[in-house]
Amino acid sequence: MIKFRLLWFLLIFNTLVFAQWQAIGPYGGYVRSVVVSSANDNIVYAGSNGSPAIIAKSTNGGSSWNTVGSIPNSIYCMAIDPTNDNRLYAGSGHNLYRSTDGGVNWLGTSMSNKYIYGIAVHPSIPSTIYASGMSYTGTKWGIAFFKSTDYGVNWTTTVIDTSGSSNYGFCIAADRTNPNNIYIGGYSYVSSYIPRIYKTTNGGGNWVYLSADTLFNNAYYIYSMAVHPTNSNIVYAGTYLIKRNLPLNQWWTILDKKFFKLL
């Protein structure tokens, strides 16, 4: 009986791990960002690279797609209002765009001397939007946190890190169970590439450096992050070129040493 259970487990594991991916579109350029509705997981939006960048929408979980709108330049990131499927946000270089009609029409806010690479909506106060990227200080680019409290119309900027000759904030993740917890991942170049992760526990008022350069040996950049939807103590980060495993209860590698989980 034990052998049967083990075999059954191995069959299930093999099916889950080695299941093949199927291309379902939309076609016409590579996709930089995908967002799914919190209220209806059949509603999915995708934003493309290109000039113009295409916004496509699926209402059946990705089985089919329709182009609904576009913005002038490549989309680096997207976010969706958790209370309104038609309210979308997109970061595109020096601009932050917002739509209130499901991506058909967009209004842009110019972010002079700034780049936007990540965006997130406050889980319970949808008028509050967070973004990550970089801001020019007059002498160099610094990792930056951007915040809006009026649905993305006006933004404040907080420069977090200027330690390197160049500093990028590639991604941002907000904690659903404690929205004041926010993470920003990226890198600084200080004679070599040093991965950076910062955390705030007061909605962006203060930031703490989590010493990602030690935990992510030779990881170069932190490209993406996410917080577990029900457990604030579990945080995920995606990077590349990891060359060693790390102890449990710290950052440890899965998925071919390119993905980390913090316990």
Domain that holds residue 122: 111-262
Whether 129 is in a domain gets the answer: yes
pTM of the predicted model, to two decimals?
0.82
Whether 178 is in a domain gets the answer: yes
Whether 244 is in a domain gets the answer: yes
Number of structural domains found in the chain: 1
pLDDT at site 213: 57
Q: What is the pLDDT of residues 80-127, one digit of tens each?
A: 999 999 999 999 989 999 999 999 999 999 999 999 999 999 999 999
Q: What is the pLDDT of residues 28-73, one digit of tens each?
A: 678 889 999 988 999 999 998 888 999 999 999 988 899 999 999 8
Asked if 58 and 42 count as a contact pair (C-beta separation under 8 A), the reply is: yes
Whether 38 is in a domain gets the answer: no
pLDDT at site 194: 86
Q: From residue 40, give the alpha-carbon distance in Å to each of 11, 30, 45, 61, 65.
A: 31, 25, 12, 9, 16
Q: From residue 45, give the alpha-carbon distance in Å to each of 15, 41, 73, 252.
A: 28, 11, 17, 31
pLDDT at site 193: 86
Whether 73 is in a domain gets the answer: no
Distance CA 184, CA 161 (A): 11
Determine the average pLDDT of the residues in 125-130: 96
Side-chain-side CA neighbours of residue 238 (13 Å): 10
Residue 157 belongs to a domain with what CATH number? 2.130.10.10
